């Protein structure tokens, strides 16, 4: 057993690190570092740079314009991205729809959609959840009725992340309400957001931000050639995609970075005449988190390495998701607590580019409470942590 990178892996890491240092625009890096709001244009600019290097679509084979990374390379790459304060890749096209089309898409779908994901011509969003269908996704009610060579779609999607930037949505819709099991009557459709009858309404989250949306669909006409996989077999497609979604959710690189940030802040913040990092209670909390983080890192590497060897990752993905998200949340909790009373001030304008007023209190304090509340989402989405526990209990433990 060797927990260190092989010479080849280390060389790859150095290559990625050097490229990021040279290619990531300082303006964007500084925004990410200060947790300022990224605009659609910021994301697009960064995607274009990654695509230019061939590193936007990590899962895809090289022949299709992807990076063709092994799971280990992908892991290294993602850690370097976080460490460099690069914006995360907006996952819906590159990490979600891309792999789905490569597996299930028609030749025409691949030829049309994949290059447009790479070029940034399309911004995809994920239309799965509905007001009545969250954890119980298979109960979704958005209806698609075949009429000639179109589906007529009616219903409502919700929690659509960055749907206000998107021009296209991949959605799960019900095509056979009479199917014996709810999972059996579902299809996977590609919907042009510019179609008549698509309406996007913002949802403001508890931190005052606009990140998610409701998408209302009224008599939206979708050409039948936009069906991915077979009609009524969308659940198979969705489950395949979920596998890709869940591996990214451990977020150990974010935890590591958050922890390093916590150490920096705890050295600056003073408590009873000494740095907070030396406070008896707080330093032990930090130590405990670091132990969990070290173990989590290795857990993640075990999974990455198994995937590298071609093994299928089963319910372990659920374990990783639960532990990884809990850890990230604990770190944001400590970050908020670290700054004491200066977690209180809330100046939303301060997160826009070009805001230059002096911060209230130490500059590092401003985003921390907001981040803590925003990160509550980690244990809710991507399959809530309770649902992950149900999966583990059932499939891993046979209970």
Ligand X SMILES: Cc1cc2nc3c(=O)[nH]c(=O)nc-3n(C[C@H](O)[C@H](O)[C@H](O)COP(=O)(O)OP(=O)(O)OC[C@H]3O[C@@H](n4cnc5c(N)ncnc54)[C@H](O)[C@@H]3O)c2cc1C
142-158 per-residue burial string, b: 16 or more CB within 10 A, e: under 16 = bebeeeeebbbbbbbbb
Tokens of 289: 């988190």
Q: Which stretch binds other proteins (CB under 8 A): 88-96, 135-143, 167-175, 292-300?
A: 135-143
Residue from 214, 245, 326, 386 carrying the catalytic annotation: 245
> Least distance from C-beta 32 to other proteins, angstroms?
22
126 binds, among other proteins, ligand X, none (CB under 5 to 8 A by kind): ligand X
Site for other proteins (CB under 8 A): which residue of 203, 224, 242, 301? 203
Closest CA to 243 of 67, 391, 62, 76: 391
> Least distance from C-beta 190 to ligand X, angstroms?
15
Active site residue 278: no
386 sits near ligand X (criterion: CB under 6 A) = yes
Site for ligand X (CB under 6 A): which residue of 73, 129, 300, 325? 129
289 vs 296: CA distance, rounded Å: 10
207 vs 60: CA distance, rounded Å: 35
162 vs 211: CA distance, rounded Å: 5
166 sits near ligand X (criterion: CB under 6 A) = no
349 sits near other proteins (criterion: CB under 8 A) = no
Backbone phi and psi for residue 9, each to the nearest 5 degrees, phi listed first: -65, -40
The residue with its CB nearest to ligand X is 134
161 binds, among ligand X, other proteins, none (CB under 5 to 8 A by kind): ligand X
* CB neighbourhood size of 185 (10 A): 21
62 vs 41: CA distance, rounded Å: 26
Q: Which stretch binds ligand X (CB under 6 A): 82-90, 244-252, 355-363, 381-389?
A: 381-389
Instruction: Point out which residues bind ligand X (CB under 6 A).
Output: 126-129, 134-135, 159-161, 212, 377, 380-381, 384, 386-387, 390
Q: What residues act catalytically?
A: 245
């Amino acid at each position: 057993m060797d927990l260190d990178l092989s010479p080849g892996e280390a060389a790859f890491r150095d290559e990625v690190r050097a490229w990021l240092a040279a290619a990531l625009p300082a303006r964007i890096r500084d925004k990410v570092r200060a947790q300022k709001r990224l605009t659609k244009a910021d994301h697009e600019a960064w995607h274009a740079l990654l695509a230019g290097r061939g590193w936007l679509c990590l899962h895809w084979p090289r022949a299709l314009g992807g990076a063709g990374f092994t799971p280990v390379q992908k892991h290294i790459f993602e850690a370097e991205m976080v460490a460099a304060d690069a914006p995360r890749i907006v996952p819906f096209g590159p990490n979600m729809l891309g792999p789905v089309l490569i597996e299930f898409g028609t030749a025409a779908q691949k030829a049309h959609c994949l290059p447009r994901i790479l070029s940034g011509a399309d911004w995809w969003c994920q239309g799965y959840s509905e007001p009545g269908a969250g954890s119980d996704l298979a109960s979704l009610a958005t209806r698609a009725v075949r009429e000639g060579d179109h589906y007529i779609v009616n219903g409502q999607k919700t929690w659509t992340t960055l749907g206000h930037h998107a021009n296209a949505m991949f959605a799960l819709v019900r095509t056979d309400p009479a199917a014996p099991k709810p999972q059996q009557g579902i299809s996977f459709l590609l919907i042009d957001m510019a179609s008549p009858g698509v309406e996007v309404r913002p949802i403001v989250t508890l931190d005052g931000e606009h990140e998610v949306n409701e998408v209302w669909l009224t008599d939206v006409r979708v050409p039948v050639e936009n069906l991915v996989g077979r009609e009524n077999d969308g659940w198979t497609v969705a489950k395949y995609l979920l596998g890709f979604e869940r591996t990214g959710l451990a977020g150990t690189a974010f935890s590591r970075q958050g922890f390093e940030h916590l150490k920096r802040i705890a050295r600056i913040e003073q408590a009873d005449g000494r740095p907070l990092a030396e406070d008896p209670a707080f330093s032990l909390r930090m130590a405990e988190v670091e132990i969990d983080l070290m173990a989590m890192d290795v857990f993640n590497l075990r999974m990455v390495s198994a995937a590298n060897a071609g093994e299928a990752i089963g319910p372990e993905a659920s374990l990783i998701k639960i532990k990884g998200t809990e850890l990230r949340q604990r770190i944001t909790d400590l970050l908020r607590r670290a700054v004491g009373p200066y977690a209180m001030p809330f100046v939303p304008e301060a997160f826009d580019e070009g805001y230059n007023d002096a911060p209230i209190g130490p500059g590092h304090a401003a985003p921390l409470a907001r981040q803590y509340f925003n990160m509550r989402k980690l244990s809710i989405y991507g399959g809530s942590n309770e649902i992950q526990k149900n999966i583990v209990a059932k499939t891993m433990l046979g209970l």
